[in-house]
Structure 1
């Protein structure tokens, strides 16, 4: 009798707990007894009935809970996204980025820290392009590690709300085959090197290049001037006749909210189906910012003027000996100007070198800046530029270092027929983001200037020779330490390779003797 009583009391307390935790499970058909005195009044048979009744309710409440939990866990599987049911159109996207925190623009196999990787991932994640299908992607420029851009442009086929499925405005199979034939013909006739004009997304990833150029480094880029007649010109009439815009997907807003804040899409445009950002870019313009310090800008301008024209720039670029290259390029404009005068300290005046051409070689802008800095520091005469352009005077490229990549920016890309579309809300969003980045950098600059002012006030730096220490910033990568060796007197790549080969032979002979 005592055991039955204790079991009844324990079950009653457990049932009360369940009733408080889940009131819908409580049934009024099972009256609760308030205390032990009430239980004492029951007979043995009454206690047994009470225990059995409470056990039934406890089991039913546990079953209801498990059933509800299992019902909550059942989630309908996501329906796969079908691009076959979507329209598509060919567009160009214009965006800016700060490259100082990235390993360059182009995708690489060894790192995901590239601009192109973030852009493509955003396009795929937002279902604007398929995962593994050819979207006929092309880029106007390929910037190096640390280099920024103000007007980078890419072109691709992208999902649309307005273009009907299967309309002629999208990329057709015949157009794809025609482009592929052009690429194949160029590849077969010129050493078997592949083009990046019309490649599938799965073919983006290229081998890691620690020394990539501001422009595309493939062999076909070198042959663009030879085979330009085989590149079809876009038919802009189809844009004028069939170019719906109202109600289109907000490409800029979607991409800006799915990429890092230092990658900013600010314009888009409908383009013809045979338009490629790479081959239909009419010019590229780069700017290189630097402090005036003790540089002689007049000597630099005199030297820079000698770069204009169609020349062989073999001695102003990185040379890849593993394949044939064409070094002729036409530079249209160069300019060196003071863009922000500092009246208190002329050495802190901000200057800018601007160069405009249809295309550039590997690291061409940075090598040119290195030579111009040497002239501005009066370590070289301005005519050194003419000597480097004359292969009869300097037939092999001397060994000299490039200028830093951080002050370089792809400032303009030429697409005269493209009618860019902007979104005011997107521009406001980007301005707020840009202001925040500017504030962060301004704070760092102000703190650095405060430290410099303090050190200047307690130091004895007065002579121009001492002030030349200011040149150790942007110029630190231009020349190695020690006494300056004139460029014409330096070893060439050929001589360096011969010396390395000679050392290797000596090493192998010594190892064989051992």
Structure 2
């Protein structure tokens, strides 16, 4: 053991010298502790991703989204929006997980996207704030299916078949994309007439492949061995956009837009539509007047049925001069007002006698949808149709208003009424039947999240689809419970509704008009639809737009646009090495 130093006999100068020495040693020791330790691990270097080493396939994706935080589904190039679009978010996610590799993506301006080379198609173009539970897109993505081998014919004649060498290597003239590789076979579908076919291209040479199919290809299961597209994308997408399923075998010549034969929408609303007030606070209300807040559901059903069939819906849409549409006829297969199960507890106060319509029996708030099935729809068509139904439901218009607006000879120009709000609208489903199926039964073989042996965790496991949806639901459920509890609390405080008395000179001065929003609009004295100012005719709107854009007329713009749309696309050039 070291002998203990007796500092009591040291001089002051010597003590100071010793303290200074100890401080220096302590600083050096502390400095050594702060220095990073030498790591013997190899530094992580991200390997360059080579798309040419991967096969591709055309699939369809079924997705759902809550549209409140988005500027609609479709992205418009060169048109920045205050909120992102669904397409923009999807494109970023697909790039992040390297399922697509579009041309020149690194040179695109911020916020721009490029679907070139992906055979992208979309079924519906929902507006800002609109939701979808059954949106469908089609596109070509990276696949796990092994690439075929290409061999040198002369070398094979001399040395025999190569052993695992000679995998196809090509380059693209303007970068990478997911176009079908030269000489590769498209994944076939048992549900369509499409058969396995090689890619066509200036450098494609299927005759140089070593046999019709390699051993690895023959063992490949196009579903079980494929990339879990839905799970992979849901990991990088925001929680209010979810991939619900993927279709490995779309129908022959599949296009999400043109192969769809039926689109289904639902517009959700409550009954009552907004908070009613006690009878004593209303002026001029009697048994023949629809009580504020409550809708006449039967009158709405009568009006909704008038939409069914083939009609010209020019008075139920917004005309876009840029589209130069001349045919406004659309076929509606089904149109009705349906009661649905409310997913939340009902607020009880509105079922009290002071808030119910005169002569009405006790009832609780309900939830309804305007359910609509049609072949295709015009811009804002559904929201215009709903707006008219709400006017009928409030007793402001008769059901016959629908017939009047559908009569183009009587009403060639749309009256300037307001369309319904966007948030309650849902693109509910997109149907892809056989062309000759009058019943329009969907034939797409969807693979939903969790389907297949060993995949249940992707739906119900930790971090699975149900976990993320539950989180989204719970956040909104807590908000709903807080707001509902506050409503019930406030209505129970103070005087009872039957004791309220309206003060002199405080009669209602404005008509409340429900448009699907959280609160009704005050519109002064209501002006019937057929007495509102008329908008310009679609022909006049198209003509003005065309002239403003430098064309001689609308007819000239349609001709020029047709030529541009049908211009042969730029070929993707494959250069063999």
- Calculate the TM-score normalised by the size of structure 1: 0.67
Aligned 1:257-296 pairs, distance under 5 A: 257-272=235-250, 274-293=253-272, 294-296=294-296
CA contact (8 A) 2:135 2:427 kept: yes
Is contact 2:64-2:241 (8 Å) kept?
Answer: yes
Q: Do the aligned partners of residues 20 and 292 (structure 1) sit closer, same or farther apart at CA in structure 2, a change above 3 Å counting?
A: closer
Structure 1's 462 and 300: CA in aligned 2 closer, same or farther, altered over 3 A?
Answer: farther
Matched, 1:256 2:234: yes
Q: Tell me the CA shift for residue 336 of structure 1.
A: 0.7
Q: Which of the numbers 357, 368, 381 marks the counterpart of 1:351? A: 368
Q: In the alignment, does 2:100 pair up with 1:99?
A: no
Question: For residues 20 and 253 of structure 2, what CA distance do their matches in structure 1 show?
Answer: 81
- What SS does the aligned partner of 2:458 have? helix
Residue aligned with 1:164, SS: coil
Shift of 1:346: 3.5
SS of the residue 2:311 aligns to? strand
Contact 1:404–1:478 (CA<8 Å) still a contact in 2?
Answer: no
**1:110: which partner in 2?**
80
Asked whether the 8 Å contact 2:511–2:524 carries over to 1, the reply is no
Where does 1:286-325 land on structure 2 (aligned, <5 Å)? Answer: 286-293=265-272, 294-325=294-325
Change (3 A) 1:310 1:163: farther
Contact 1:402 1:478 in 2 (8 A): no
Aligned partners of 1:461, 1:407: CA distance in 2, in Å? 36
Select the residue among 351, 355, 373 that pairs with 2:390. 373
2:366 paired with 1:334:
no
The answer to which of 100-109 and 89-98 deviates more is 100-109
Q: Deviations over 1:164-212 (max 9, x none)?
A: 25899x854899xxxxxxxxxxxxxxxxxxxxxxxxxxxxxxxxxxxxx
Q: When you count helix as a share of all residues, which structure comes out higher?
A: 1
1:142 pairs, out of 125, 132, 137, with: 125
- Cα 1:471–1:290 change in 2 (3 A) is farther
Mapped partners of 1:73, 1:472: distance in 2: 66
Residue 435 of structure 1: CA displacement? Answer: 1.8
Q: Which residue of 2 aligns with 1:125?
A: 96
8 Å CA contact retained: 2:514, 2:521: no
In the aligned structure 2, how far is the partner of 1:479 from the partner of 1:394? 26
CA distance in 2 between partners of 1:286 and 1:297 (Å): 19
The alignment of Structure 1 onto Structure 2 pairs a total of residues equal to: 394
Which residue number in structure 1 is paired with residue 145 of structure 2?
A: 162
Partner of 1:419: 445
Cα deviation for residue 114 of structure 1 reads: 1.7
Q: Secondary structure at the match of 2:223?
A: coil
8 Å Cα contact 1:94/1:268 also seen in 2: yes
Distance 1:472 1:121 in 2: 38
- Distance in 2 of aligned mates of 1:478 and 1:386: 26
Alpha-carbon distance between aligned partners in 2 of 1:20 and 1:483, rounded to the nearest angstrom: 81
- Aligned partners of 1:98 and 1:148 also within 8 Å: yes
Residue of structure 2 equivalent to 1:229:
none
Q: Which has the larger radius of gyration?
A: 1
Q: 1:69 to 1:444 in 2, by over 3 A?
A: closer
Deviations 1:472-505 (A, max 9, x none): 573578866111111111111139x99xx9xxxx
Tell me how far apart the structure 1 counterparts of residues 301 and 61 of structure 2 sit (CA, whole Å).
35
Runs of 5+ in structure 1 lacking a partner?
A: 1-5, 24-64, 176-232, 502-514
Q: Secondary structure at the match of 2:447?
A: coil
- Which residue is 2:476 aligned to? 441
Contact conserved, 2:62 with 2:244, CA < 8 A, in 1?
A: yes
For structure 2, which runs of at least 5 residues remain unmatched after alignment? Answer: 1-15, 106-115, 151-167, 169-177, 184-190, 198-217, 273-293, 352-361, 433-441, 451-455, 502-506, 545-577
Check the 8 A contact 1:104/1:147 in 2, yes or no: yes
What secondary structure does 2:339 align onto? strand
1:20–1:295 Cα change, 3 Å: closer
TM-score by length of 2: 0.60
Partner SS, residue 445 of structure 1: helix
RMSD (Å), alpha carbons: 4.1
